[in-house]
A = this chain, B = another copy of it.
Amino acid sequence: MPRQSPALTKALNGSCAIARCLGVLDDPWSFLLIREALLGRRTFAEFRDSLGIASDVLSARLAKLVEADVMTRASYQEPGQRTREAYDLTPSGRELSAVLIAMKQWGETHVPREAPAKVDARSQGSECQVSSQLIDARGRPVDADKVSFVRR
């Protein structure tokens, strides 16, 4: 796992909430692990095999996500097998779906590929497709390319 430079550590420890989110999701593997968990993967082997991630990197990333209260670790045992660890998203971890759906929409629009999108977001229960929308204070849609940030 890459070391975090002191400059980056400082930039992530400011009071900006975007930076605080990046302090939890601080490399692409973390985002991909949340994606896999939202797809229903739970065990170390499932994460490793679906992502092709090295075991030591996976261990470190999962430990960090557990420490950040984005995942919880639980033990489970199948008949005749030894006890294993499973990782479940906490409610806070599940809410990262909003970030990943926004990324998915951006990738679909701006880095198109011939192959169709592989992952869909669905509302639990209704099975409706879910998308991300920017809105203003009155709930009216806002185009993402018409947004600026201001520092308070």
Residue numbers of A with Cβ under 8 A of B are: 2-3, 5, 7-8, 10-12, 14-29, 31-32, 35, 38-40, 51-54, 57, 68-69, 91-92, 94-111, 113, 115-126, 128-138, 142, 144-152
Contact = CB atoms under 8 A, between A and B. Distances in A.
Contacts of A39: 148-151
A81 B75 CA distance: 65
A29 B9 CA distance: 11
B17 A117 contact: yes
A12 B38 CA distance: 17
B35 A145 contact: no
Contacts of A104: 16-18, 21
Contact of A94 (B95, B113, B131, B145): B145
A53 B7 contact: yes
Given A15-B118, A104-B18, A135-B133, A95 B145 contact: yes
B119 A95 contact: no
Contacts of A120: 149-152
A18 B148 contact: no
Contacts of A118: 14-17, 151-152
A130 B134 contact: yes
B52 A7 contact: yes
